Structure 1
Amino acid sequence: MKKLTYLVLIGSLAACQPAEKQTSDASAIDTVAIANHIKTLASDEFLGRKPFTEGEDKTIAYLADQFKSLGLTPGNDNSYFQEVPLVELDARPSSTMRINGGNEEVSLQVGDDFVAYSERVEELNELVDSELVFAGFGIVAPEYDWNDYEGLDVKGKTVVVLVNDPGFGAEDSTLFKGRTMTYYGRWTYKYEEAARQGAAGCLIIHDTAPAGYGWGVVRNSWSGASLYLDQTGDSYKPIVQGWITRDAAIRIFEATEVDMKGFVERSRAEDFQPIPLNLTASVTVENRIKKSTSNNVVAVIEGKTKPEEYVLYSAHWDHLGVGPAVEGDSIYNGAHDNASGTASLLGIAAAFSKAEQPERSVIFLAVTAEEQGLLGSKYYGENPIYPPAQTVANINMDGLAFYGPMKDLTIIGYGQSELDELSEAIAKKQGRYIIPDPTPGKGYFFRSDHFQFAKVGIPAMFSMGSYEHMTKGVAYIEERTREFETTAYHQPADEYNSDTWEFGGIYQDATLYYELGQQLANSDQWPKWKEGSEFKSIREK
């Protein structure tokens, strides 16, 4: 592998290690092996690692073989696999959504004004003259003494809610978490809460700044076929879920006789009351249904003295498969996203396999269908093999930087748990500093698999070097990141290239994850969620 000077240096260090069991030693991380795993997993042979395809069969077999060769025990009784039942729903919404009962009928056009879909495994899902209620941000948050549904019966009705949470755009930094998005700001939460309240439909008002992406992303992401968990019963989601543009929302508000002036600011007020709009909505979603089963891959090293306490490593193995050709290439290899994380999971498993047996058990979980909505980790969280209450922490790996050694460790969701301080101590030994997510309003803490473990109370860490190169500075990383996001992210160009990939940063990050896991696996520490975290009450239950 020419031009990988740093990689070769680290590989040489690894090769010089004695064969006998090691303690927690930074040189235990073998980046040559990690590079080879990336090269394999991101090769054309694996067809972009999409669930339900030959690419999945090759990927999960490769991962199970690697865990077995390292001497790790199957993590699901006698199997390395946890079946994840999925369903593909190809949503076909009606061309218009009709809003009636006001000064005049409002007709919204699919794609331009709204998107609609249903996660219910039913061929026909419809709202017929469903009463509309504006429910502010659609949030019930006891720790903030906040309830947008207080005193409101929405059974059979459709709620219209704002994207993000009250803190975003407010002058008050103590309102929720200011510009930092909380769990309550995520669109997934809003649909779930609407369902808990008994709503038949939920429409989120899109606005680019608080959403963190434009309407084009909404239109493309929620149109056509998508994968979901094949869940029994339909009470967990509204009949129809959807988004409407801000302009469409204003047209709806102008059609009602109710005063809706300043609806965003009014929704931030402590005395906000939900507002019946005296309007009805009608829309239909037809689903074409295809069911199948994907797989999480799980292995474990059993603890010596506390085998029923667990440290959980995770990374998603999947990517986008074969898709539209870009410059003649139709295989979306996903080298950075997330062969890098999956390969590092194997690298850390290898390091643990050579070290002394840990006191606690250590789980290595490669999850499916992250790209389709964190589905593999969601399924594990709802159907855990190992009890969440006995799981000490989750360390998640997704998209490790391949630009060389980094000066920073960026912690996504900084301030959520005591894992921050534990990680910071290790980073300082590496000559690195801690930085919180520079764009907290975009809610990245809720956009990778660690979030699904946090949802069931497990303190979760998601971090990586991503801001400042050790010698080339901030501007260099900004340029490389911008180039990747423009030309390679979720495109066929996300490929492994031994001439351009530099492994200094991956080595640093994998070492930090390994040492953090060693510390947790060989101590009595139980990192806690911090005051103000929306996951603290879940853990304490």
Structure 2
Amino acid sequence: MMRRHRLKLVAASFVALGFASAGVAAPVPPVNEALLRDVVKTLSADELAGRGPASAEEQPTLDAIVARFKAAGLQPGNNGSWFQDVPTVSMTASEFSPLTISGGSKVLNFAHGTDFVAGSYRVVPETHVKDAELVFVGYGVNAPELGWNDYAGIDMKGKVAVILVNDPDYAMESEDGPFKGRRMTYYGRWTYKFEEAARQGATGAIIVHDTFPAAYGWNVVESSWSGDQHYVATPNDAADQTAFNSWIQKSTAESVFKAAGKDLATLTAAAGQKGFKPVRLGLKANLSFKSSITRSKSRNVVGIQPGTAAPDEYVLYSAHWDHLGRCKADKAGDDICNGAVDNATGIAALVALAEMNKAAGPARRSQVYLAWTLEESGLLGSEYYARNPVFPLAKTVGGVNIDALYPGGVARDVAVTGGDKSELSVLLARVARELQLKTGPEDNAEKGYYYRSDHFSLAKRGVPMFYVKRGTDLVDGGVAAGKALAEDYVVNRYHQPSDEYSDSWDMRGIVQEVDLYYRLGRPLAEGSDWPNWNAGDEFRAIRDKSRAVVTQAF
């Protein structure tokens, strides 16, 4: 579950896309509040022990979801099956050597945890990197649509990329820079930087941590890279990835650059300018560690309402079914993280939407309902689906992702992550106007929340996805009440045993959100247009390429 933020919508022509002018043709079916309550209560019951993936409670959880999908009129969506297997790998690194940097006037040794953290995507029991050359590659960005390539002119084979966190223009107050300034893009995310280093053929990748552009302290990095790390299993056991990925403290990086006769601040300033070229540091890195490996399997749930005129075009509704299972006990000894809000509410919304669409009758396009697994382990269920789609991504119109709906009152505003990235904003603007909902600027855009929930697995492969919720300006109590509601959940319930269902829940806000999701999804399913990412968006090129292939086939 990700924190939510508001979208500043730019003016757009509502006639540019068919769904923007057509709207929801038929009356909107009512949201079944009793159904929402019943599904949340069932999925968050102690008997399901927090819905841990690959636990003894997974099958009863999936049985409960499938029963609800069937009752709502859905059909099994994966070639006659309700399920898609998701193979995973968990690795725990240990027995780290120091990170040793040689080639300067003296050998530098840095301690694991204090100075650096590391791991490997490769599924191997031992990692050994010896005398790998260090190359500073600025922000590690390769963005052809912006004419920006931090790897220009260098072969990274056998080398270790040293990379700055965030985007080159992150320090701007506005969003006017090539990388949207203060608003983080995908190029600023640490996951992208490791992926791009692998695509460049690097042996390793080291990100320089800096609290402001990272948006979190070193303690978050250290804790996140401790213990089990979970990945989607691949046929080649990730042999095409870097041998190791790492973060180092900024002070550690300063020492490394000094040993190379360079100044980190000077090179950081240079890396923020277009035309930056990689800098070979004349130093070599050595590192070794072991990894214990555990393989397991969980499952996504896939249901479908076939379309009429265009059954091979798909609109998605998605939410993750998993939670943490058993967790740290509270003072009363309760060690079940029930996940009522996170995300039994999301699955309940899927069921309610299926029921509403059943009442409205079949749409022109097929509507697909996806209950993801392993969101809490790093979006693995949605990532596996995006790599192995049941329905072709090039023929997936777009959709709505749903995660953690707070009980409480209705709002006067709409909240969304990511800013004005795609033509879906046109539809959102129209629906907001119809419902007399305000929109406003997104808070904390520099933290890149758009890239931290299940919709992102599809977005980065070109599929436009809504991630929308009601905002914080509540009808009863205003912004102060809305912020207090969100803070109470985050502080007192989020990922804790206290995230439990109660019959005393105020369901009005959740009902409002489900109604909003229907109004966003149904026009996509009834329409014939193909919303795209805005010109210059980091996902535009991949959508253009995938749609071109489909268009050329006819």
Q: Higher RCO, 1 or 2 (CA under 8 Å, sep at least 6)?
A: 2
Partner of 1:489: 494
Q: Partners of 1:258 and 1:225 in 2: how far apart? A: 36
Partner of 2:308: 304
Q: Give the secondary-structure state (helix, strand or coil) at the position aligned to 1:399.
A: coil
Q: Partners of 1:47 and 1:237 in 2: how far apart? A: 36
Partner of 2:78: 76
Return the TM-score normalized by structure 2: 0.91
**Superposition deviation, residue 490 in structure 1:** 1.8
| Paired residues of 2:470 and 2:509 also in contact (CA < 8 A) | yes
Aligned counterparts, 1:33-432, within 5 A: 33-92=35-94, 94-170=96-172, 173-233=176-236, 234-327=238-331, 328-432=333-437
- Counterpart of 1:446 (choices 451, 461, 468) is 451
Q: Give the secondary-structure state (helix, strand or coil) at the position aligned to 1:325.
A: coil
Identity of aligned residues (%): 43
Partner of 1:540: 544
Q: Partners of 2:432 and 2:511 in 1: how far apart? A: 12
Q: Give the secondary-structure state (helix, strand or coil) at the position aligned to 1:324.
A: coil
Q: Deviations over 1:283-320 (max 9, x none)?
A: 12311111111100000000011101110111111111
Q: Which moved more, 1:440-449 or 1:323-332?
A: 323-332
Q: Partners of 2:502 and 2:268 in 1: how far apart? A: 48
Residue 297 of structure 1 aligns to which amino acid in structure 2?
V
Q: Partners of 1:151 and 1:382 in 2: how far apart? A: 30
Structure 1: which 5+ residue stretches go unaligned? 1-21
Q: Give the secondary-structure state (helix, strand or coil) at the position aligned to 1:407.
A: coil
Residue 505 of structure 1 aligns to which amino acid in structure 2?
G
**Runs of 4+ deviating beyond 4 Å:** none
Residue 279 of structure 1 aligns to which amino acid in structure 2?
L
Partner of 2:470: 465
CA separation of 1:124/1:24 partners in 2, compared to 1, >3 Å: closer, same or farther? farther
- Counterpart of 2:438 (choices 412, 433, 438) is 433
| Paired residues of 1:103 and 1:257 also in contact (CA < 8 A) | no
- Counterpart of 1:505 (choices 509, 525, 528) is 509
Q: Partners of 1:357 and 1:66 in 2: how far apart? A: 18
Q: Give the secondary-structure state (helix, strand or coil) at the position aligned to 2:274.
A: coil
CA separation of 1:109/1:24 partners in 2, compared to 1, >3 Å: closer, same or farther? farther
| Paired residues of 1:300 and 1:364 also in contact (CA < 8 A) | yes
Q: Give the secondary-structure state (helix, strand or coil) at the position aligned to 2:329.
A: strand
Structure 2: which 5+ residue stretches go unaligned? 1-23, 546-554
Q: Partners of 1:535 and 1:43 in 2: how far apart? A: 39
Q: Partners of 1:366 and 1:535 in 2: how far apart? A: 24
| Paired residues of 1:93 and 1:116 also in contact (CA < 8 A) | no
Residue 177 of structure 2 aligns to which amino acid in structure 1?
T
Residue 192 of structure 2 aligns to which amino acid in structure 1?
Y
**Superposition deviation, residue 504 in structure 1:** 1.8
| Paired residues of 1:93 and 1:283 also in contact (CA < 8 A) | no
**Superposition deviation, residue 93 in structure 1:** 5.0
Residue 486 of structure 1 aligns to which amino acid in structure 2?
V
- Counterpart of 2:460 (choices 451, 455, 468) is 455
Q: Deviations over 1:216-275 (max 9, x none)?
A: 111111111122111122344211011111111112112222344423222101131111
Q: Partners of 1:266 and 1:472 in 2: how far apart? A: 49
| Paired residues of 1:315 and 1:342 also in contact (CA < 8 A) | yes
Q: Partners of 1:103 and 1:465 in 2: how far apart? A: 58
Q: Give the secondary-structure state (helix, strand or coil) at the position aligned to 1:371.
A: coil
**Superposition deviation, residue 24 in structure 1:** 4.6
Q: Deviations over 1:385-438 (max 9, x none)?
A: 111111111210012232210111112112111111212211222221123431
Residue 181 of structure 2 aligns to which amino acid in structure 1?
G
| Paired residues of 1:92 and 1:117 also in contact (CA < 8 A) | no
Q: Give the secondary-structure state (helix, strand or coil) at the position aligned to 1:248.
A: helix
| Paired residues of 2:253 and 2:264 also in contact (CA < 8 A) | no
**Superposition deviation, residue 535 in structure 1:** 0.7
| Paired residues of 1:313 and 1:394 also in contact (CA < 8 A) | yes
Q: Partners of 2:197 and 2:43 in 1: how far apart? A: 40
| Paired residues of 2:133 and 2:284 also in contact (CA < 8 A) | yes
**Superposition deviation, residue 359 in structure 1:** 1.1
Residue 89 of structure 2 aligns to which amino acid in structure 1?
V
Residue 451 of structure 1 aligns to which amino acid in structure 2?
F
Q: Partners of 1:108 and 1:227 in 2: how far apart? A: 26
Q: CA RMSD, aligned part only?
A: 1.6
Q: Partners of 1:377 and 1:155 in 2: how far apart? A: 31
Residue 329 of structure 1 aligns to which amino acid in structure 2?
D
Q: Partners of 2:324 and 2:26 in 1: how far apart? A: 36
Q: Partners of 1:94 and 1:24 in 2: how far apart? A: 62
Q: Deviations over 1:452-495 (max 9, x none)?
A: 11111111111111321123111122222222222222222222
Q: Partners of 1:63 and 1:377 in 2: how far apart? A: 17
Q: Which moved more, 1:236-245 or 1:490-499?
A: 490-499
Q: Partners of 1:502 and 1:407 in 2: how far apart? A: 16
| Paired residues of 1:162 and 1:206 also in contact (CA < 8 A) | yes
Q: Deviations over 1:480-521 (max 9, x none)?
A: 22222222222222222232x322221111111112211111
Aligned residues: 519
Q: Give the secondary-structure state (helix, strand or coil) at the position aligned to 1:176.
A: coil
Q: Deviations over 1:97-117 (max 9, x none)?
A: 111111222221111111111
